[in-house]
Structure 1
Amino acid sequence: MLRINNLVKSYDGEQRRRSRTARAEPDRVYAVNDVTFDVADGELFTLLGPSGCGKTTTLRSIAGLERPDSGTIEVGGRVLFAGRGPGKEPGKGPGRPVNVPANERGLGMVFQSYAIWPHMTVFDNVAFPLQVRRRATRPGKKEINQKVMQVLATMELADLAGRQATKLSGGQQQRLALARALVIEPPLLLLDEPLSNLDAKLRESLRYELKRLQRELGITSVYVTHDQTEALVLSTSIAVMRGGNVVQLGRPREIYENPNSRFVAEFIGTSNFISGVVEAKDGSSYSIRTDDGPLVLDASSDIPVGGEVVVSIRPEAVEVGLTSRAGEVPNEWTGKVLTRAFLGEAVDHVVTVGRHEIRARGNPSVSIAADTEVYVRLDPAKLALVPVD
């Protein structure tokens, strides 16, 4: 459905003189640096990363609100953007640039601010994209009414069709913005952090509502967020971005359980990190030597014996107990509880083990006081190896 190839977008940076006689020229700042990915029909594909990583610039380039330096953007086989390739002259053969204007791309977009028109009713907000179409493609009044009421019913806003848009709640405004994007029946829906302005409880409920709607309607979507929980809940696939590059691409569970770098492991959830060296390897089974003791684990990584690694340990992979199970289970270390925190659905313990402070997350029925000597067990199947950056 969506194909992005070698997309590059840069801006002028600071002015720097190369020599005393040379003219000051700006360095280039790459907001998007050679990004490539495909989105299949019906997928909800998420661009995830910290502020300034290039995710919104990528989305705006797809929408036609930014003009990339180079690369190609295709939706459903239709080329929306094609920059000039190396050595190609504009207007000559296959190197001819293409840049379809944003209003001719036919894509739906929901912005972070919703951009609801306050002087219009709910109905008029949704009808507007259809009413301003060119005369040749503009539906009749009866068809517009039918389409608008159908999409409002899907968003559970049909009873509010005559209400002023400013008299809606935050969640209703978010659904109204989504209805306005969907009424044109776009081949691709673009969502730029649409839930970030909502309170935490409403944001959580609307995540599942968005997931349900996207699956029921089967609309191919590209979603931008810096919220890793949101990305894990909503996405079919995730592209983690950093410094204008896609650093890992995969399914949510794959990225969470097998991060390919310390950056990804830190950004996707919470992790404990322990440095070590590969002491032995047998297929996917690894024996790691660390300063605080040996670790055994299963990993799909391809790191040779003697290679330096970082073991990524999710808090839920750590079990804390008052009695030893040495000989029954591997990876048991001794430690002392530093602090604990009740989270409602879980309890976090921070345990000092040698030079490390390891966070463990477990059942709320288990709560161990600070300064208690404990045994820490690390599940070999839930540990991941990442190379040293």
Structure 2
Amino acid sequence: MTMLTITNLVKSFGSEAGKRAKARSGSSKKGTDAGQDAGPARVFAVNDISLEVGEGEMFTLLGPSGCGKTTTLRAVAGLERPDSGRIVVGDRPLFEGGSTRHLNVPANQRGLGMVFQSYAIWPHMTVFDNVAFPLQVRKRATRPGKREIQERVAKVLETMELGHLADRQATKLSGGQQQRLALARAVVIEPPLMLLDEPLSNLDAKLRESLRYELKRLQRDLGITSIYVTHDQIEALALSTTIAVMKEGNVLQTGRPRQVYETPNSKFVAEFIGTSNFLRGTVAGREGGNVDVDTEAGRVRLESSVNIPVGEEVIAAVRPECLEISTTRWGNRPNEWAGTVTNRAFLGDAVDHIVRVGQGSLRVRGNPATSIEPGTEVYLATDPSKVTLVPVG
């Protein structure tokens, strides 16, 4: 079942440059036509995107700052009014904008749970009162009784492992406990959809990693459909059922984490999700499902079902962890290149080697037990199935 449907959503803002241009034009003209030909340029924060989120999914909007992911989330929450499009949760339309119909359900009537980056807990209340508040302020017709509120709050606090802190002031909690309190307050209303806007970004690296798995467990156990916004690719890969990669208001690729990571559909996606080596070249030939590409590092064989003509310019992408390194030649590998180590870096759980191959350099990530000194001649190899074809643009 589809829990959230976003159709042709558009949200734009007037640029500051456009506003300044209009102001300058207005000050230099007289009469009713002042500024008419210098209206503010529109910047599209969300540019005609469509998404479907299945029931029970953890759906992540991933991208750099300014790509439109938070604007999309705020539009679903009712905190931003889109220019046009349609937003439906379950079978209930929350927003419809266009030439024929206008609908915009207020944020406080949408019944969605939201967790902000800043927690936004009430400092003058106890842990219990923070969680109970969204139930206590409901309209009388839908407000649970005192006993039900007590039971629901106690249950959620136990789920979040905060039951023993129910009477503590919210400001006396640690950062991780405050984040779980914010989650508890969103969950207690039993929303059909939970919206999470970079909820872990204010935590230190160690706590963020531990809460990442805790959040995944809670979402799975509670079965709440969730939209998660982050710019952290590791967070997205670890938490998500589905990832939508965004850039400049557009969704470039949507898919399962492994699918997006292993088969990116563009250079931007390959660069943003993890690290990639990009080998620019031209198609030299095709045999069955194998494509040969002549690159600056030599000939590369890869697997692709895309029918690209010989001579076409392409990019072959390979992840650093998909390359093998050795001081001895294998001799029977379809992708095997000779090179020289120019640099290395110990990362704790891995070692990165930078290897000069032909006219370019390749990054190789491998077992920390293997550390080769710069200046050493080495051989690199990878399987054709580990190389991805991406568009040049």
**TM range, normalised to the smaller chain?**
over 0.9
SS of alignment partner, residue 355 of structure 2: strand
Structure 1 distance, partners of 2:289, 2:107, is 49
For residue 25 of structure 1, give the secondary structure of its aligned residue in structure 2: coil
CA distance in 2 between counterparts of 1:362 and 1:74 reads 46
Q: Residues 18-29 of structure 1: matches in 2 within 5 Å? A: 23=36, 24-29=38-43
Q: Does 1:107 align with 2:109?
A: no
Aligned partner letter, 2:377 = E
Partner of 2:84: 70
Amino acid at match of 1:219: I
The partner residue of 2:303 within 293, 298, 305 is 298
2:292 and 2:302 in contact (8 A); partners too? yes
Which of the numbers 220, 223, 226 marks the counterpart of 1:221? 226
C-alpha deviation, 1:300, in angstroms:
4.0
> Secondary structure of 2:41's partner?
strand
Q: Unpaired runs of 5+ in structure 2?
A: none
Query: In the alignment, what sits opposite 1:349?
Result: 353
Q: Which portions of structure 1, spanning 4 or more consecutive aligned residues, are displaced by more than 4 angstroms? A: 16-22
- Alignment root-mean-square deviation, CA: 1.4
State how far apart, in whole Å, the 2-side matches of 1:108 and 1:126 are.
Answer: 12
The aligned counterpart of 2:150 is 145
2:315–2:391 contact (8 Å) kept in structure 1: yes
Is 1:49 aligned to 2:60, yes or no?
no
- Decide whether the 8 Å contact of 1:47 with 1:223 is kept in 2: yes
Amino acid at match of 1:267: F
Q: State the number of aligned residues.
A: 379
Aligned 8 A contact 1:344 1:364 in 2: yes
CA-to-aligned-CA distance 1:249-271 (integer Å, 9 cap, x gap): 11111110111111110000001
String of CA shifts for 1:278-321, please: whole Å, max 9, x gaps: 11123431111113311111124443332211111100111110
Post-superposition Cα deviations, 1:85-111, rounded to whole Å, max 9, x if no partner, equal xxx3xxxxxx22100000000000000
Select which of 337, 343, 351 maps to 1:339.
343
Is the Cα–Cα contact under 8 Å of residues 280 and 287 in structure 1 kept in the other structure?
yes
Distance 1:178 1:302, change over 3 A: farther
- SS of alignment partner, residue 154 of structure 2: helix
Counterpart CA distance in 2 for 1:292 and 1:341 is 22
| Residue in structure 1 matched with residue 121 of structure 2 by the alignment | 116
Helix, strand or coil for the counterpart of 2:71?
A: helix
- Change in CA separation of 1:101 and 1:278 when aligned onto 2, cut-off 3 Å: same
Please name the residue that 2:243 is paired with.
238
CA distance in structure 1 between the partners assigned to 2:168 and 2:307 by the alignment? 60
Q: Specify which of 24, 43, 49 is matched with residue 35 of structure 1.
A: 49
8 Å contact 1:299–1:383 — kept in the other structure?
A: no
The residue identity in structure 2 corresponding to 1:378 is T
* Cα contact 2:57–2:226 (8 A) shared by 1: yes
- The superposition leaves residues 13-66 of structure 1 with CA deviations (integer Å, 9 ceiling, x where unpaired) of 214479987622111110000010100000000000000000000000000000
Which residue does 2:10 correspond to in 1? 8
